[in-house]
Structure 1
Amino acid sequence: LHVRKLRDEDFCKSHYVVFATQRGVIKKTCLTEYSRPRTNGVNAININDDDRVISVALTNGTDEIIMANRNGRAIRFSESAVRTMGRNATGVRGMMLDDGDDEVVGMVCVNDRDRETVLVVSEQGYGKRSVVDDYRITNRGGKGVRTLNITDKTGRVVAIKSVTEDQDLMIINKSGITLRLRVADVRQAGRATQGVRLIDLKKRNDVISSVCQVPTDDEEEVETVDGTELPEAPEATDTNREEDAADNNGGETPETDNP
């Protein structure tokens, strides 16, 4: 996190550090807890042995949070639904996972719905942007709604990001090849679609490893893979217009320091 006002008491009192873990736990701590950093660091979260932190964000107390799992579902809830805890607390349940090897792949904190869109990327190189309001606000702790129509062609979800059209995307696959493209070139589509192909991985027998957003450099050309232009992606088609009936059955969970 880039925090330039750590010595500003008013700023620290009005901002928070939000953690999301692989097992669906979410935790919010006031920034004042970190206002006196130590050279060897401080404990930030009490995490279980079978869990790990996958995302951290700086918030202003009024943001909206979206968490996504690898099975193609996402949940949106208000930051106010997560009470403030101390550094040594574990957190509370943010999202209920499916059975098996399901896990949370990312968290985004939205504070400007007019500019930001939600980007989802799958392991086989498919992705799409959706407006924030496609994800209705619910209670934390539920299973959420469908965010990507997962097929054998798309693979499972590997990343969720909050992006604006003045940014670029950096997509890195497991073999180390990097693709840079403009966010504005990624078409918007409904949240239940499979999206469009961002990078062709079929011939490489590869999968996406990491996705990040960076400021756009207008003078720099967008990079291509192997020096060739990527083929124009087909229009996304909405294959799941119906709402998921079981999206928010999780309801509220007890406000304790353990999920």
Structure 2
Amino acid sequence: NLKEMLRHFVEFRKEVVRRRTEFELGNALERVHILEGLKRALEHIDEVIEAVRRSKNREEARLALVSRFSLSDKQAASILEMRLQRLTSLERQKILEEHDATTKEIERLKGILEDEGRLLELIKAELLEVRKVYGDGRRTEIVEEMPEIRIEDMIKDEKVVIVLSRRGYIKRVPLSQVRHQGRGGKGKMGIILKEDDSLEHVCLTSTLSSLLFLTLDGRAFLTKVHLIPEAPLTAKGRHISAILNLKSDETISALVPLEDFPGSSHLFMVTKKGFVKRLSVDAVRKAKKKALKLVRMPEEDRVVSCLFTKGKDEIMIVTRRGLSIRFCEDKVREMGRGTYGVRGISLGEGDEVVCADVVSGKEDVFTVTERGYGKRAPLSEYRVQGRAGKGIRNILCKEKNGPVLFVRGVRRGDEVILATEKGRLIRFRIEEIPLQKRGGIGVKLMDLRGERITGMGIIGNGA
């Protein structure tokens, strides 16, 4: 407690001041000893000078002074080092005054060591002087009860990139470490992977957000972003098993940043077979403590996208062969965790859903293909349709650009981060992608050098 802390501090100060006083007393005693020798020499100055003059060398002079005037070796040495100017009456008076002052100081120092009351008075006087010179107003507040302190209150809020590999190695990297490079380049190594591993997910979020991990079979895990280990840009990171209790055969299909949990919010899930499901975000609150099954579906289907929506958002779903559909989320009723969902888009033979995004409040639609091509088209070219339709052409997929991988709603000023399977990252402004018609082929985004695009993130304007 505070009283005991003060007691220990006083004991500490007593020890410090006592040792300092002993040191000063030793110096004063040594000095007064020298002064007594000088004083005795001044009283017999003529005899001292005569003894020195008769000596053949310094050692003989020292011995003569010691024997004749009963001096110590130190006193004799001090007399021999004394300059002639100190023989003047003024200098002689200074020696006498110093002797008297040093004698009084010795008495004062002995008094401090012999009387604890005087020792405490000295400590008090020194502390008052410290307060006078360095004291300022109180910077802390004394309260009756200790307020609750959350770990988040001590964490810096900063934008980060979450990187997850196919074999489950995860890390967070400050966004500032991923520098802008410009469209068309080869990018910069963002994670060093083993031969049998590849980069699968890139997610942009902040240290104070939560992150939802959704597996292919619909299980959900929720964790704080700041609990994901931070690592340098090229480091492998730590295995996800240190954070989540995954089954040995489970694979993460989506990462969903959640900044808050307002009551009107929803999770909107989209599967490879074109089914969609909307459930209240309240359903995932318990996922902080254990995994929750959010969707039940056939073994041949899997979740490809999971979106955080606000009740009236518009959703865009895209297929591997370049089709897309845009509809309002409220066309899908809210469901419980034990259901499969309803048809979101009708797929042609051999086609499958690859991605979905919220496009409400966005200006353009940005599509990325497997071979490193991308297309930006005005959102206005994508009419709002009913749920479960076949959709309309989004991008023309050819051998040159390959099948569709990702879609994102974007605004002017946004930036894009792309990741390759071997861990290279590239960052560029969305304006570097020219606007095209809805059915265009797109332009080259990155020099892949035989790799595939496996991850994408959008940095919102102002992030």
1:217 Cα shift?
8.2
Counterpart secondary structure, 1:84 = coil
Q: Name the amino acid aligned to 1:49.
A: E
Is 1:189 the equivalent of 2:436?
Answer: yes
- Distance in 2 (CA, whole Å) between partners of 1:105 and 1:37 is 25
Is 1:53 the equivalent of 2:273?
Answer: no
The 5-angstrom pairing of residues 218-257 of structure 1 reads: none
After superposition, what is the alpha-carbon deviation per residue over 1:173-203, rounded to whole angstroms, capped at 9, x for unaligned?
22322221111211211110011111133xx
Cα 1:4–1:72 change in 2 (3 A) is closer
Match of 1:108 among 340, 357, 380: 357
Match of 1:24 among 274, 277, 282: 274
- Distance in 2 (CA, whole Å) between partners of 1:205 and 1:129 is 24
- Distance in 1 (CA, whole Å) between partners of 2:410 and 2:426 is 17
Which residue in the other structure is 2:451 paired with?
206
- Distance in 1 (CA, whole Å) between partners of 2:398 and 2:378 is 22
- Residues 313, 359 of structure 2: 8 Å contact kept: yes
- Distance in 2 (CA, whole Å) between partners of 1:122 and 1:145 is 17
Which residue in the other structure is 1:77 paired with?
327
Counterpart secondary structure, 1:2 = strand
Q: Which runs of 5+ in 1 are unaligned?
A: 219-259
Q: Name the amino acid aligned to 1:2.
A: P
1:38 Cα shift?
4.7
After superposition, what is the alpha-carbon deviation per residue over 1:84-111, rounded to whole angstroms, capped at 9, x for unaligned?
10111110011112212x2111101122
- When structure 1 is superposed on structure 2, of 44-53 and 167-176 the one drifting more is 167-176
Which residue in the other structure is 2:318 paired with?
68
1:65 Cα shift?
0.8
- Distance in 1 (CA, whole Å) between partners of 2:407 and 2:319 is 9
- Cα RMSD of the aligned pairs, angstroms, is 1.9
Which residue in the other structure is 1:5 paired with?
260
- Residues 270, 277 of structure 2: 8 Å contact kept: yes
Which residue in the other structure is 2:378 paired with?
131
Return the structure number with greater helix share: 2
Which residue in the other structure is 1:162 paired with?
409
Cα 1:137–1:215 change in 2 (3 A) is closer
Q: Which runs of 5+ in 2 are unaligned?
A: 1-255
Return the structure number with greater strand share: 1
Cα 1:82–1:40 change in 2 (3 A) is same
Which residue in the other structure is 2:394 paired with?
147
Cα 1:181–1:34 change in 2 (3 A) is same
Q: What TM-score, normalized by structure 2, do the two folds share? A: 0.43
Counterpart secondary structure, 1:33 = helix
1:215 Cα shift?
4.6
1:216 Cα shift?
6.3
Q: What TM-score, normalized by structure 1, do the two folds share? A: 0.74
1:77 Cα shift?
1.0
- Distance in 2 (CA, whole Å) between partners of 1:2 and 1:160 is 17
- Residues 315, 359 of structure 2: 8 Å contact kept: yes
1:207 Cα shift?
2.3
- Residues 120, 129 of structure 1: 8 Å contact kept: yes
- Residues 182, 216 of structure 1: 8 Å contact kept: no
Match of 1:173 among 412, 417, 420: 420
Q: Name the amino acid aligned to 2:405.
A: V
Is 1:117 the equivalent of 2:364?
Answer: yes
1:72 Cα shift?
0.6
- Distance in 2 (CA, whole Å) between partners of 1:157 and 1:44 is 26
- Distance in 2 (CA, whole Å) between partners of 1:27 and 1:160 is 19
- Distance in 2 (CA, whole Å) between partners of 1:54 and 1:165 is 27
- When structure 1 is superposed on structure 2, of 89-98 and 174-183 the one drifting more is 174-183
The total of aligned residue pairs comes to 208
Identity %: 32
1:21 Cα shift?
1.0
1:144 Cα shift?
0.7
Match of 1:94 among 344, 350, 354: 344
- Distance in 2 (CA, whole Å) between partners of 1:207 and 1:133 is 30
- Residues 315, 360 of structure 2: 8 Å contact kept: no
- Residues 108, 162 of structure 1: 8 Å contact kept: yes
- Residues 21, 51 of structure 1: 8 Å contact kept: yes
